Amino acid sequence: MSRAEPGAPSGATKRRRPRPRPAITHDNDFFWKGVQAGKLLIQRCSCGRLRHPPGPMCPVCHSLEWDSLEASGRGSVYSFVVAHHPPIPPFEYPNLIVLVELAEGTRIVSNLRSVDPAEVAVGMPVQAEFVELEEGRSFLQFEPIRSGRDEE
């Protein structure tokens, strides 16, 4: 995929840089495989506590035993920031970054799309979306749940 470089004469194109690849470890591999499969998987300790980002040990009971839970993907904006500068390719600007509190109780950082940054508010209901931003690579992002949108 190519696009015109900002400020470049018309007809000039530059290849779009790929997004940075996540650092995949034994502890978070399940999460990234879930994203590629269109599932939001959250790590769950044997004591029942959910945690994200994933880690090797429960911070409460110190257990090394865990499995994963498929989250609904529904939540609300807990906090957000609108990044403008410095622009870092390949991200689009303004870059709306949110901390989402999932219905299951844990929080996750991602991008919010399909909304004007001026309309974002703490408490805004959102839904996870799996978006293929690069061929063969899906990313977890969130979109607002608008009134009238079908609730599953």
By mean pLDDT, which of 55-64, 82-91, 94-103 is the weakest?
A: 82-91
The listed range with the strongest mean pLDDT (2-6, 62-66, 134-138) is 62-66
Q: What is the mean pLDDT of residues 116-129?
A: 97
Question: DSSP state, 47?
Answer: T
Separation CA 152–CA 149 (nearest Å): 9
Contact 140, 130 (CB under 8 A): yes
Q: What is the pTM of this model?
A: 0.82
Contact between residue 145 and residue 125 where contact means Cβ atoms under 8 Å apart = yes
Average pLDDT score over residue span 17-24: 84
Q: What is the pLDDT of residue 5?
A: 42
Read off the pLDDT of each residue in 1-12 and give the average, rounded to a whole number.
43
- What is the set of domains in the chain, with CATH numbers? 22-70 (no CATH), 72-146 (2.40.50.840)
Quick one: pLDDT at residue 148?
Answer: 64
More confident residue, 51 or 2: 51
**How many angstroms separate the CA atoms of 11 and 86, rounded?**
25
Q: pLDDT tens digit string along 101-121?
A: 999 999 999 999 999 999 999
Whether 6 shows a pLDDT value over 60: the answer reads no
Residue 151 has pLDDT above 70, yes or no: no
